[in-house]
Structure 1
Amino acid sequence: MDASIPDLLRLLVVPVFGWAALRDVKTRRVPNRTWYPLAALAVVLLAVEGWQAWTGTAYETRAFALRTAISLGFVAPLVVAFWWFRAFGGADAKAFLVVAALFPTFPTYEAFGWVLPHQRTAVGVFSLTILTNTVLLGALYPLAVLGRNAVAGRFSSVMVVGKPVSWRAAAEEHGRLLETPEGVTRNGVDLDAVRMYLRWRGLTLAELRERPDRFRDPATLPAEPNPPGDGSVGVEDLRADGGELEAPAETVAEEDAPADDPWGAAAFLDDIDHGAYGTTPEGLRDGLDVLVSAEEVWVSPGIPFVVPLFVGTVVALTYGDMLFGAMAVFGLA
């Protein structure tokens, strides 16, 4: 393969994004340290190629400066805006910020007589190509969810974004609950927040369902709650001292029990030292009321967006820009 050293180094994103995608599917968590080496690499490559452009022709200088400005001044803020409005998760936003810094221009690879990427764009900002590829691939996810529900005969106003699962499976699902006691909703409680609450109390969902009236009483809140963690699935539940989480033997004193706080939802959110994914006491109470009474609930599985990012990056590095390719088919590009 013939390519410049910076472009060859950029291929390191493929195994890193692949690992991050696998991690995102399993736990919906990607450690922050994943992005540090790629961010450092991006800074070095920007400096190297910036110097090469500066010492090159006037056209090369202007082209590199313009594309870098678009990548860092448009794509990066756009990603932050998506994160702000919760279209992206934190890991997704960090990954795209790395992409914006690492791929301001199109790389070039020559192999077996092929020049890749094949489909280029007029603007020439490669991070924008990766972003559009990712969004287009991500848009297939709700269509797949809709088709699967339709084939299975599961019809609901939320069948485009959700799926029905048993209450037992809900305890291990990612995403949001799409139900309240009043009916379906697009903004139910985050299931990670439910797991945080259960760990905080040292209870399982099955135990909550066995005695819902008792545990709805805030007087049964633990005097010394467990660390809530971050609500991720597939992690070992441990206390700060290394022991396993357990239901505390002591509950709060009756005079210290919060008044008018079913499930102790407000007390839980007040006690933890960080947020619970935007969860409100009312939202948590509604979610718990549904989970302790329903046998089957609708949940939004949530899109592990690092997966389409990984695929979109691989497609971008080989085929190129999917949007421009589609436009070219119809004579629009």
Structure 2
Amino acid sequence: MFASVPDILRLVVVPVLGWAAWRDVETRRVPSRTWYPLVALGVALLAWDALSHLSLAAPGDLLFFVRVAISLFIVAPIAYLFWLVGGFGGADAKALITIAILLPTFPTYYFSGFTLPVVVTTLGVFSMTVLTNTVVLAIAYPLGIAGRNLLDGDFRFPVGFLGRRVDVADLSTAHGRLFETPDGFSRSGLDLDALRMYLRWRGASLSDLREDPEAFRDPASIDATYPATDGAVGDGGDGGDEADATPEPEATDGDAEPVAVDPDDEWGAEAFLDDIEGSAYGTTPEKLRGGLAIVAERDRVWISPGIPFIVPMFVGTVVAFTYGDVVFGVLGALGIV
């Protein structure tokens, strides 16, 4: 293989994205520090490439800067906008912004008899290709969920395309949110991280709540509370920032903190949200009460597992490095471009 030094160095994004995708599946948490070295590398390589185009003597020199501008000022803001409206998680947005900086233009890798990527767009913005490849792959996610539900013999239209039914006992390690409320199916059900936060705040387990839901519903039963953590599954333990998982606290006297609870505050929902730092993933007292009632009363519930978006982004990046742009390739095969 032959390639420029910057393009060879850019390949480091593949194993990093692969690790981030694995961690996203396991914990839905990717430390922000994951992206810092890649951003620094991207800035350095961008400066390296820019030096060879500063003269603007060749026809491609100006085009290089146009493509970089599209990547930095269109693709990167798209990632931020998607995060702002809730379409991306924080790690998803940071990953795409990192790619926009590290890979603004198409790299080229020469082999004996062929060159990769195979399909290069006219626009020539590699980060845009990663984004479109990712979207194409993500569209297949509901079909995968539906196929799994059909194989399990537990398909219900239309929720079978967006959710799956699980045992309530498995919610302690599940990701996503409840697809049910006391009023029926809803995509805005209780976030499962918020459920874990509440249980840790109470110093209790899900089985404790299910064994005696009326006691938990009574706000007078709350005589002490414990650190809610961020609701992540597992113990994380790698010293990361807000994205890192934290262990479930043990309910010991040393951890306990007294709390004042309104006698009309069922489940202590308002007290919980007032006591924790920040937001429990957009949870309201009503949403928390409804979710707790469901997990206390039912043996199986529908959940929306959500899309670990870094997974299709990782695959989309690998496809971009090898095949190239999937959408452009299909349009080319159809004779449209």
Task: Find the counterpart in structure 2 of residue 153 from structure 1.
Answer: 153
Task: Find the counterpart in structure 2 of residue 76 from structure 1.
Answer: 76
Shift of 1:150: 3.0
Asked if the contact 1:221/1:251 (under 8 Å) is kept, the reply is no
**65 and 243 in structure 1: CA distance in 2 versus 1, 3 angstrom threshold:** closer
| Aligned: 1:301 with 2:305 | yes
**222 and 14 in structure 1: CA distance in 2 versus 1, 3 angstrom threshold:** farther
Give CA deviations for 1:236-283 in whole Å, capped at 9, x if unaligned: 79xxxx995116697857xx3213211111111111112111111111
Residue segments in structure 1 that go unaligned for 5+ positions in a row: none
**171 and 68 in structure 1: CA distance in 2 versus 1, 3 angstrom threshold:** same
1:291 to 295, 298, 310: 295
Asked if the contact 1:158/1:186 (under 8 Å) is kept, the reply is no
Asked if the contact 1:201/1:248 (under 8 Å) is kept, the reply is no
Task: Find the counterpart in structure 1 of residue 214 from structure 2.
Answer: 213
Task: Find the counterpart in structure 1 of residue 198 from structure 2.
Answer: 197
Question: How big is the alpha-carbon RMSD for the aligned residues of Structure 1 and Structure 2?
Answer: 1.9
Asked if the contact 1:166/1:297 (under 8 Å) is kept, the reply is yes
**244 and 191 in structure 1: CA distance in 2 versus 1, 3 angstrom threshold:** closer
- Within a 5 Å distance, the mapping from 1:1-333 to structure 2 comes to 1-154=1-154, 155-223=156-224, 225-235=225-235, 244-246=249-251, 256-333=260-337
**243 and 289 in structure 1: CA distance in 2 versus 1, 3 angstrom threshold:** closer
Asked if the contact 2:178/2:190 (under 8 Å) is kept, the reply is yes
Aligned residues: 326
**323 and 53 in structure 1: CA distance in 2 versus 1, 3 angstrom threshold:** same
1:248 and 1:48 map into 2 onto residues whose CA distance is 58
Task: Calculate the TM-score normalised by the size of structure 2.
Answer: 0.92
Q: Which amino acid aligns with 2:251?
A: E
1:220 and 1:57 map into 2 onto residues whose CA distance is 76
**257 and 287 in structure 1: CA distance in 2 versus 1, 3 angstrom threshold:** same
**184 and 247 in structure 1: CA distance in 2 versus 1, 3 angstrom threshold:** farther
Bigger Cα displacement from structure 2, 123-132 vs 262-271:
262-271
Asked if the contact 1:75/1:127 (under 8 Å) is kept, the reply is yes
SS, match of residue 160 in structure 2: coil
**58 and 260 in structure 1: CA distance in 2 versus 1, 3 angstrom threshold:** farther
Shift of 1:146: 1.4
1:321 and 1:183 map into 2 onto residues whose CA distance is 41
Give CA deviations for 1:138-158 in whole Å, capped at 9, x if unaligned: 111111111222343321431
**Percent identity of equivalent pairs:** 53
Asked if the contact 1:105/1:124 (under 8 Å) is kept, the reply is yes
Give CA deviations for 1:283-304 in whole Å, capped at 9, x if unaligned: 1111111000001000011111
Task: Calculate the TM-score normalised by the size of structure 1.
Answer: 0.93
1:195 and 1:146 map into 2 onto residues whose CA distance is 27
